[in-house]
Amino acid sequence: MQTRPLGRSGLSVPPIMLGGNVFGWTVDEAASFRLLDRAVELGLTFIDTADVYSRWVPGHRGGESETILGRWLQRSGKRAQVTLATKVGMELGDGAKGLSASYIERAAEASLQRLQTDHIDLYQSHRDDPDAPLTETLSAYAKLIAAGKVRIIGASNYSGARLREALEISRREGLPAYQTLQPHYNLVERRTYEHDLAPMAAEYKLGVIPYFALAAGFLTGKYRSAADVQGKARAGAVGKYLNERGLSVLRALEEVAEEARSTPARAALAWLLAKPDISAPIASATREEHLLDLAAAAQLKLSPEAVAKLDRASA
């Protein structure tokens, strides 16, 4: 699988990023190992997780995904083949959250232990922390980078204004700068990224790695009614798209997929990859056929007419 530059970070990555939120949630450890082995075979070696995955599951405390990834890395010996991304900042209980220097130091060590590795390729602020001065957060990352524990840093769930402020502080004070942006962006979630964040990504040449690239599975076409999502793990995330606009986008997506002799999932990812500012959309897989879809999406080139059709349908 061909790679592409991750913004100006110096890293070159596959054009699809494998989401690790499912490991230990909707996919158990044994199945996760099989999926990860197959992902590497297919060239899907850019993997995203977070320390908070999957705290939302009853009985979980967070760190489950990182733990499974770490056990797989140890068992498989494939650490050198993988570009590993994780995140810090979300609530883990008992006041464990945020982007203060002391918390980042503790959280990074905990993630490294769970992941059974000596470094994180991409360490991301999972969400902005208004209580932590940006200079303090960036200085904490500077120490981790100097120690060889982190290669580059990224931001997720920041507003455009706060992202610009952080990037200007890095420039002015000689601190490490966010090299990537992980926004919520897909065919049915366009406004926030395109109006508030895309100008920032272009100006500062950030690598953009959108999460929920398939809208929690809605853009695969398997959810068309409330009955389809009832009892599903992502019912809440998908249900909000079951309206006339969402179904109209889905119809256009299916038409484009049919014309391209592909699938809706592949076409939805290919639409993102057709955008010049997107480095690698993030999508999860719970079965091998999902991985095959992701790998095929990386090879699918939509025509300008197909991209324009999807632009219009999802405007």
Kindly write down the DSSP assignment for every residue of 126-157, as one continuous string: SS--TTS-HHHHHHHHHHHHHTTSEEEEEEES
Q: What percent of the chain has pLDDT over 70?
A: 97
Type of residue found at 20:
G
Provide the pLDDT for residue 49: 98
Residue 67 pLDDT level (bands cut at 50, 70, 90): very high
- Token pair of 264 as six digits: 């809706």
Adjacent-strand bridge partners of 282: 17
Are 85 and 114 contacting, i.e. CB atoms less than 8 angstroms apart?
no
List, in order, residues 6 or more apart from 187 with CB less than 8 Å away: 215, 219, 249, 253, 268, 271, 310, 313, 314
DSSP 211: B
Q: What is the structure's pLDDT at 121?
A: 98
Question: And the tokens for 64?
Answer: 């489950």
With a CB cutoff of 8 Å and minimum separation 6, the contacts of 132 are 98, 99, 100, 101
Per the structure block, which two tokens stand in for 35? 């999926």
Residue of 94, 105, 21 lying closest to 63 (CA atoms): 21
- For the cut 80, the answer to whether the pLDDT of residue 226 exceeds it is no
Is the link from the previous residue into 54 a cis peptide, with omega within 30 of 0? yes
Q: What is the pLDDT of residue 233?
A: 65
pLDDT at 230 over 90: no
Alpha helices in 121-263 (DSSP H): 134-146, 160-173, 191-192, 198-203, 226-229, 235-239, 244-259
Cβ burial, residue 17 (10 Å; 0-12/13-18/19+): buried
Helix spans in 3-100 (H): 29-41, 64-76
The pTM assigned to this predicted structure is 0.96
Q: Tens digit of pLDDT for each residue in 87-119?
A: 999 999 999 999 999 999 999 999 999 999 999
Check whether 30 has a pLDDT greater than 70: yes
Taking the C-alpha atoms of residue 165 and residue 81, their distance in angstroms, rounded to an integer, is: 34
Contact 189, 212 (CB under 8 A): yes
Confidence of residue 225 (pLDDT cuts 50, 70, 90): confident
What mean pLDDT, rounded, does the chain reach?
95
List the structure tokens of 136.
């303090």
Number of H helices, E strands in the chain: 13, 10
Q: Three-state SS for 51?
A: coil
Longest pairwise C-alpha distance within the chain: 54
Residue pLDDT, tens place only, 127-155: 999 999 999 999 999 999 999 999 999 99
Radius of gyration of the chain (CA): 19
Known catalytic residues are 53
Q: What is the pLDDT of residues 16-26, one digit of tens each?
A: 999 999 999 99
Q: Which CATH superfamily is domain 11-223+265-301 in?
A: NADP-dependent oxidoreductase domain (3.20.20.100)
